[in-house]
Chains A and B, each alone.
Chain A
Amino acid sequence: AQKVTQAQTEISVVEKEDVTLDCVYETRDTTYYLFWYKQPPSGELVFLIRRNSFDEQNEISGRYSWNFQKSTSSFNFTITASQVVDSAVYFCALSEAGSARQLTFGSGTQLTVLP
């Protein structure tokens, strides 16, 4: 069975600090997909990134970067120079290729960026 663990329930940083959100996953499939979603206070889910299990290259998008390491089953998300607008709940999720493509979500990390 697939499982996603986000051990950090809440993180609080001061604006301009860097912050890393951890995500550890479990799966028996060799082909799978990992995702990060952002949920701002307004409640909608905003897609941030998708990574497949064959692509371990790290990715950078502006102030966001992701570090995928199959050896440790981790897919961590770093925000550089955080801003108040980054305050949100962030979810890591896993989808196995052989499944119905449903997502298994972690419990989320509440990030608060203080001015």
Chain B
Amino acid sequence: DADVTQTPRNRITKTGKRIMLECSQTKGHDRMYWYRQDPGLGLRLIYYSFDVKDINKGEISDGYSVSRQAQAKFSLSLESAIPNQTALYFCATSDSGQGATEAFFGQGTRLTVV
């Protein structure tokens, strides 16, 4: 099983619908992140969380919300999806220990808003 699991892997939804992307991890890491990837733009940070009680906005948080239900679970919601939110979404985790370990990424969720 993957250390960082995203569900669903693919989703097509209609404009205006609410959708939730889920992420769970078995790494035991305290930090979790949601990134969005668009062609030619690399990955951009949407939200990040240091622990269950600590949620922070990233570079492009408008139109998104998150929930850290437990240390191992971090969900991303689109309250009212719009076509320009069509993208590849990645969840990631990292450890807050000394030194920056690499981030561990899920396999991605390809979201299409029609």
B-binding segment of A44-52, A65-73, A74-82: A44-52
Residue tally, chain B, CB below 8 Å to A: 28
Whether the Cβ atoms of A35 and B102 lie closer than 8 Å is yes
Whether the Cβ atoms of B45 and A102 lie closer than 8 Å is yes
* A101 in contact with B107 given A9-B40, A106-B42 (CB within 8 Å): no
- Whether A95 sits at the interface, judged by CB under 8 Å, is yes
* A44 in contact with B107 given A100-B56, A101-B100 (CB within 8 Å): yes
**1/0 per residue A74-115: CB within 8 Å of B?**
000000000000000001010101001111111110000000
Which A residues are closer than 8 A to B by beta carbons? 4, 6, 9, 33, 35, 37, 43-45, 47, 50, 52, 91, 93, 95, 97, 100-108
Give the residue name and chain of the B residue nearest to A47 (CB): B102
Give the residue name and chain of the A residue nearest to B58 (CB): A102
A9, A44, A100, A104: the one within 8 Å of B48 (CB): A100
Q: How far is the CA of A103 from the CA of B101 in the complex (A)?
A: 11
User: Could you tell me the distance in whole angstroms from the C-beta of B33 to the nearest C-beta in chain A?
Assistant: 6
Whether the Cβ atoms of B107 and A100 lie closer than 8 Å is no
A-binding segment of B12-20, B65-73, B88-96: B88-96
Q: How far is the CA of A101 from the CA of B99 in the complex (A)?
A: 10
Give the residue name and chain of the B residue nearest to A91 (CB): B42
User: Could you tell me the distance in whole angstroms from the C-beta of A66 to the nearest C-beta in chain B?
Assistant: 14
Whether the Cβ atoms of B90 and A50 lie closer than 8 Å is no
User: Could you tell me the distance in whole angstroms from the C-beta of B10 to the nearest C-beta in chain A?
Assistant: 10
Most buried by B among A47, A102, A106: A102
